[in-house]
Each structure stands twice: as C-alpha cells, then as structure tokens.
C-alpha cells in the first residue's frame, strides 16, 4: 500500500518538474516576482464615462504601483457599446437586453509605431422590469460596469501574453 502511495507522489513530483522546466507560468499572475510589479505601459485617456471606468480598471490591474516613470509602451483603446433586445414577452415587449462592449486595442512603442493590435469584447445581459424605469436604468449601468471589469481582465491577459512573448523590456 505504501509503495502505491509513494509511486503516486513520485509521479506528481515528476509532472510538476516537467511543467516547471518547460517554462509554464499562469497568465493571471503579474510579470515580476512580486505582486506590485508594474507594466511599463502608459494607458491613454479613453473618451466617455465608461471609457474612464475601463481606464481606471486597467490602471488598477496593469500598474498597481502607480504609473511608470519611463513607459516603454502606450496603450490606446477605442471603446464601443451595443445594446440589443434579446428577450421579448408574448405582448412583444422587451424582457431582456444584452450589452456588448468592444475595445479596439493599439499598443505603441515610444516611437509611436504600432506593435500590437487586437479587438476584444465582453457581453453581459440584464432583465427589463415592466413599469420600473429606475430599476432598468440601474440594471443597465451595472451590466455595463461588470462588462467593463471583464474587458479589463481580458486586456490584461492579452497584454501579459504579448509582453511575455516579446519581452518586457
């Protein structure tokens, strides 16, 4: 019995060594060894109120230690939103809406050359309550803010992957 357990532990140890030696590293971690490592990125201003919220989320995720003194990259984002009716009742009134937030990313170096472009989207939906306009407005705002948080997470993963492949410096 103890030989069987030893074999399992040894097998797990070999798998862990193989993963460590191949350069495997989760994308959801920061670039540096400590959790306060900042990306060398300046995040450009994004227009509109929801652009401000997205930028604030990105600042919190990409540069938690504050903006870099000498950024090596400039991240520009164009944010668009689409609101669609997705669910209707028997009386053909809208019962559900879907918010699609799309961000067109452009990462530039300090010479303003485009080095990376990507489009990323986040989709969220919310219910429409009949005769309750305030609740509908709050639900729409909440769905958009949650979608912006998801969009910021996706952008962080894309930027992390790019900088890992092409070097942080």
Contact 71, 42 (CB under 8 A): yes
Percent with pLDDT over 90 in the chain: 53
Closest CA to 139 of 151, 153, 125: 125
Q: Tokens 């009742």 identify what position?
A: 89
- Report how far residue 132's alpha carbon sits from residue 35's, in angstroms, rounded to the nearest whole number: 44
To which H or E segment does residue 117 belong?
strand 114-127
> Is it the case that residue 29 has pLDDT exceeding 60?
no
Q: Could you report the per-residue pLDDT of 111-125, keeping only the tens digit for each?
A: 999 999 999 999 999
- Say what the pLDDT of residue 36 is: 44
Q: What is the mean pLDDT of residues 51-78?
A: 91
Q: Model pTM?
A: 0.75
Whether the per-residue pLDDT at 71 is higher than 70: the answer is yes
Domains along the chain?
Answer: 33-166 (3.30.160.150)
CA dihedral 143, 148, 154, 159 (to 10 degrees): 180
Sole residue written with tokens 């919310």: 126
């Amino acid at each position: 019995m103890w030989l069987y357990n030893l074999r399992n532990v040894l097998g797990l140890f070999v798998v862990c060594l193989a993963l460590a030696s191949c350069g495997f590293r989760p994308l959801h971690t920061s670039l540096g060894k400590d959790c306060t490592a900042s990306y060398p990125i300046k995040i450009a201003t994004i227009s509109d109120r929801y652009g401000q919220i997205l930028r604030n989320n990105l600042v919190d995720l990409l540069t938690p230690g504050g903006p870099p003194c000498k950024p090596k990259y400039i991240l520009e984002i164009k944010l668009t939103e689409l609101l669609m009716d997705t669910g209707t009742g028997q009386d053909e009134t809208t019962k559900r809406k879907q918010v699609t937030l799309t961000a067109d990313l452009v990462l530039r170096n300090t010479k303003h050359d485009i080095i990376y472009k990507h489009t990323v989207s986040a989709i969220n939906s919310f219910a429409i309550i009949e005769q309750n306009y305030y609740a509908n407005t709050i639900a729409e705002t909440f769905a958009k803010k949650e979608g912006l948080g998801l969009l910021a997470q996706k952008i962080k993963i894309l930027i992390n992957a790019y900088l890992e492949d092409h070097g942080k410096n």
